[in-house]
Amino acid sequence: MTTLSCRVATTQRQLDDALRVRAAVFGTELGLLGTTAAATLREVNCFDTLETTVHLVVYADDTPVATARLLLPNPEVARATGGHLGIDLEQKLDLSGVGGPGLVFAESTRFCILKEWRHSEALVWLQAGLSAESRRRGVTHWIASANMETDSAEDARLIFQVAAHQGLMSQRWHARAHAPPVSPAIPSAPYFTAQERARAQQGQLDGLRMPRVLSFFAHKMGARFIAKPLYDTGFRRFSLPLVAALDELPATTVARFDALGRSTAQGSQA
């Protein structure tokens, strides 16, 4: 029987495990990375080695199957970039209006799961580990930009309209891009069909699907979207910025996290 666990990376080997999972998902599977990642079998970013960066890895027995990265506020980066929090997303968004007394925002990023494990409990283990480590470090809010699964500006705008139609926009937090997104003139990854776009043009937004990552964060993690779509030239996809308050996680999600914690404790006592 396979045993899942989520660990904070504290060794070079565990960091390599995280970077290899990222390369497998973003590079090998999705083809979103350049030749450098392919040559090293690792997806590496300049934020990965900061002392304020936390990497989490989900293992199936001893095999890494999922990973996520938590970027805590970094004063050194904030000073160097003229930013507010000193996190990666701040290179694209003005986050000066995000925050307040007693609030600690951290960026949840590089969230990925190997394809064969994507519909397993690995997802819950990863989010539970991220939640536990965030609380341990005093984080009150996650900020992220979730994959919209398209490089089409038209479809990204439509997804944004659907999110607003479903009441998923934040009423408290708002951010704006430093510069308008510049996406491909001819997209290679459309999200909606021509029929779905025609329905939207007639104002019929009910029933239009949302990308699964956006739906997961909105409905399972209580996240709300805070800005218009961003285009990432590295990953060649649009993403939608969001904020989730840890104290406002849905009760069903917290119950699942607690159940994992109890099962882990019982297993360690066996």
DSSP 217-229: IIIIS--EE-S--
Please report the beta strands in 61-166, taking only residues with DSSP state E, as ranges in sequence order.
63-71, 93-94, 105-113, 141-147
Q: Which tens digits make up the pLDDT trace of 169-216?
A: 999 999 999 988 889 999 999 999 999 999 999 989 998 999 999 999
Give the integer Cα–Cα distance in Å for 242 and 37: 27
Question: Given pLDDT bands bounded at 50, 70 and 90, which one contains residue 266?
Answer: very low
Please report the domains of the chain, with CATH numbers, ordered by start residue. Answer: 4-264 (3.40.630.30)
For residue 135, give both structure tokens: 């609380």
Burial zone of 223 (CB within 10 Å; 0-12 exposed, 13-18 middle, 19+ buried): buried
Q: What is the pLDDT of residue 29?
A: 85
**pTM for the full predicted model:** 0.90
Catalogue the E-assigned strands of 207-262: 224-225, 230-232, 237-245
Helices (H) and strands (E) in the chain, counts: 8, 10
